Structures are given as structure tokens and as C-alpha cells.
Chains A and B, each alone.
Chain A
Amino acid sequence: EVQVVESGGGLVQPGGSLRLSCAASGFAFSNYWMTWVRQAPGKGLEWVANIRGDGGERYYVDSVKGRFTISRDNGKNSVFLYMNSLRAEDTAVYYCARSEWARCDWGQGTLVSVSS
């Protein structure tokens, strides 16, 4: 059974940093793209970033370019989202997903709150 479990969310001050982790199991991790999607409170879904199975390609939504970095450790079946210079508008539930194009197997999400 495919499982992805996010962790690392919490409360952080504006300008601060946070690292989200996503532990995957039940599939050949290095064969799949992994994706982060977020959802601000009461708002819709927003695609954030993705990374190819070998880590050779990474893409970001414009609003996080230069501030967020997606990476993966195929030896540990994990993907990470490093978030720097956090802003109030980054407050959201962050979902990790195994993706084949846009067919996603989703985790339950982790909440990031950016507030002073």
C-alpha cells in the first residue's frame, strides 16, 4: 500500500525557516516524481514544487522560487521541503504526494503557520 506521511510543520515567525519531511513507503520510491501542494485556510489547492525520481529536475511555483528548496533522499525514501524567508501568506496545510504526471497519492498534510 502506498503511504506518504508528512512531518515538520509548526508555528514559525515571519522571516523564519522550516523543513518539512515526507516519508514514503509501499512503492519503488526512486521511480517516482514527488510533489508538494499547499492549501491556505479556507482556500483552494496550490501546486508548490516537484522533483523527479533521480532528483535531476525540480520545479517551483513562482511565489516560492528562491525561498523554498525541494530535495530527496532515495536511500531513506524521503522528500523534503526547505522553506526560508517565510511569510504570512505561506501559512497553509502542506501535502506531500507521489505523482505520476498529476495522478497523486496524497498524505494527510502538515500545518505550517507563519505568525509573530
Chain B
Amino acid sequence: QTVVTQEPSFSVSPGGTVTLTCGWRSGSVSPRDHPTWYQQIPGQAPRTLIYDTDIRSSGVPDRFSGSILGNKAALTITGAQADDECDYYCTLFMGDGTWVFGGGTKLTVL
């Protein structure tokens, strides 16, 4: 079983808003878990979008935002564009020096 959970897939209309989530299988995500979000276009290396819950990496458009919603970390894309269609991964700190990725969310924009 996956320790970190993400929606396997999600769909959004162009111009729409979508929120992807990242949670522990058991327990709540908090800022001390340093939730971090990555974007990966198939065939390319990942790119860091959001780190430490809500800090955008350099060059990331402000339509990408991070937060804690309820007991999960969240990545919200506002005004979705066609080139946002790709895979999104989150990672959480295990507290023992190790990290674990979620299974990823395949986002479709249509």
C-alpha cells in the first residue's frame, strides 16, 4: 500500500481551477512534513513547483499555489492551460531523514 496518497487522475476544463491533494495513508499532513510538489511532462525530468507547503519555485507561474486543506497538502491550479496536462507528484518527509513520493496524479485538461 502507498504510504502517501494522491488521486490517480483528475480532469479540468481549460481556464478552470483544480485542486490536487497529497495525504498520509494514516494521519494528517502538517508543515513539518515539508510537502513538496513536482510537475513532470512525459519523457522529461521532474520540475519542482511548490516546496515547504506553499513556496513557489523560481519561474513557476502564480496560478500554481500550495496549501494545507483539512488533513492533506493541496496543489491548486487556477486558470488551467493545455500545457498543464502532465503528471504531478508530491513528496512528504518521513521524519527519519527519508522522503516518500505519492503515486502521482495524471492531469487531463479538456
Contact = CB atoms under 8 A, between A and B. Distances in A.
A106 B47 contact: yes
Question: What bracket does the count of chain B residues touching chain A fall in?
Answer: 20 to 34
Question: What bracket does the count of chain A residues touching chain B fall in?
Answer: 20 to 34
B11 interface: no
Interface string B46-68: 11100110010100000000000
Contact of A61 (B38, B93, B98, B103): B98
Interface stretch (A7-15, A16-24, A43-51): A43-51
Interface string A43-85: 0111100100000010111000000000000000000000000
Contacts of B96: 59
Interface in B82-110: 87, 89, 91, 93, 96-104
A35 B103 CA distance: 19
A101 B101 contact: no
Interface string A99-116: 011111111110000000
Interface string B24-59: 000000000010101010000111100110010100
B34 A102 contact: yes
B101 A44 contact: yes
A103 B36 contact: yes
9 residue pairs, one from A and one from B, having the closest CB atoms: A102-B36, A103-B51, A59-B97, A44-B104, A47-B99, A106-B45, A45-B101, A101-B34, A59-B98
